[in-house]
Homo-oligomer: A and B are copies of this chain.
Amino acid sequence: MKVTIIGLGLIGGSLAISLKENGFADTIIGVDALEESEHKALRRRIIDEALPLKEAVAQADLVILATPVDVMLNLLPQILDEVEQQVVMDVGSTKESLLSKINSHPKRGRLVATHPMAGTEYSGIEAAIPNLYDNKYTVVCDAEKSDKDALKLVEQMYRSIPMNITYLDAQAHDVHTAYVSHISHLTSFALALTVLEKERDEERIFELASSGFGSTVRLAKSSPDMWMPIFRQNRDNVLDVLDEHINTLARFRTLLLKRKFEEIYELMEEANHIRKILK
C-alpha cells in the first residue's frame, strides 16, 4: 500500500509513523509546503520520499490530507480533480465548511471525511510521535457519501493502528467537537492570557504553578496556525458553547458575590459527574 501524506506536522507525521510501524503502508510519500519539513521527515525516515503534490497524488493508493483546515479548503477540490481510483481521506477538526465545498464534486465518493480525536499541544514534524493514536476514537463523517471501497479501506487503516471508529454527520460532528475539544482550547488560551497579564513576574508563576494549573493551560501552547482556521470554520458552534461557558462562570461569580457557598458546593458535586465519564 502506497500512502501519500499531505501536511507533515504533528498529525500527519504521527500517522505516518504508525502506518509504517504496523505495516499498513509499504511506502509513504510526503508533501509539505515547507521544504524544511519534508527534509526533516526524510531524515527521521518518517516518509520514504517527498514529491510534488500532483505526482504524490497520482502515485498513491491512499491520500491523507493533514494540513491546517484552511489549507484543506483550497487543496481538497484540487486533489479530487486529480484522483482516479485513489482513496482520499482528510483528518480535519471541522467538517461542515469543508464538505459543503466538495459535496457536488464528481469525485466526492472517493473522499472519506475523518477526524481522529488525538493530538498534543505541540506542532510541526518535530512533534510527531509514535502511538499518538493508539486506542483512541476517530470520527467518520457522512460515511454514506463515500464509495464503499473507499470507506472500507479507511476503516481498515484506522483499525490497523488500532483506533475505534464512530460515525456522525458533519453537522453533529462540528457541534460535538465544539464541546469536547474546541472550547477546551479557547478557555486554555484565555486562562493563559488572564494569568500572563496579571503575573508579569514570570519566575513567580513558574515557582507557584501547581500541576493543576499546568494541565489547565497546557493547550494554550497550541499553534495559532492550526487553531485560528478551526475557530473560523466552526465559529457558530464555538460561539454557542462559549456563551454557555461564560454563563456558567457567571453563575459561579454570582454565588461567590452573594457568599452562597453551599450552592457552589452543589455545583462542584454536579461537575464531579465527569469522573464517571473521564477516567
- Chain A residues close to B by CB (< 8 Å): 117-121, 136-137, 139, 164, 166, 176-177, 179-181, 183-199, 202, 204-222, 224, 227-228, 231-232, 235, 238-239, 241-246, 248-250, 252-253, 256-257, 259, 261, 264-265, 267-278
Q: Which 9 A-B pairs have the closest CB atoms?
A: A224-B268, A184-B216, A192-B271, A192-B274, A215-B215, A189-B271, A190-B248, A220-B271, A117-B210
Q: A224-B268, A242-B256 are in contact. List 18 more A-B contacts (CB 8 A).
A: A120-B211, A181-B212, A184-B191, A184-B216, A185-B212, A191-B245, A194-B241, A196-B271, A215-B218, A216-B218, A216-B219, A221-B274, A227-B268, A231-B256, A239-B256, A242-B249, A245-B249, A246-B246
A195 to B179 Cα, complex, angstroms? 6
User: Of B164, B210, B273, B275, which is within 8 A of A181 by CB?
Assistant: B210
Residues of chain B within 8 A (CB-CB) of A214 are 278
Q: A253-B239, A256-B231 are in contact. Are A212 and B202 (CB under 8 A)?
A: no
* Cα-based distance from A250 to B121 in the complex (angstroms): 23
Asked if B273 and A206 sit within 8 Å, CB to CB, the answer is no
Stoichiometry, as copies per complex, reads 2
Contact at A194–B183, with CB atoms within 8 Å?
yes
Find the residue from A190, A192, A221 having the highest chain B CB count within 10 A: A190
- A243 contact set on B, CB distance < 8 A: 253
Tell me the nearest residue of chain B to A269, going by C-beta: B224
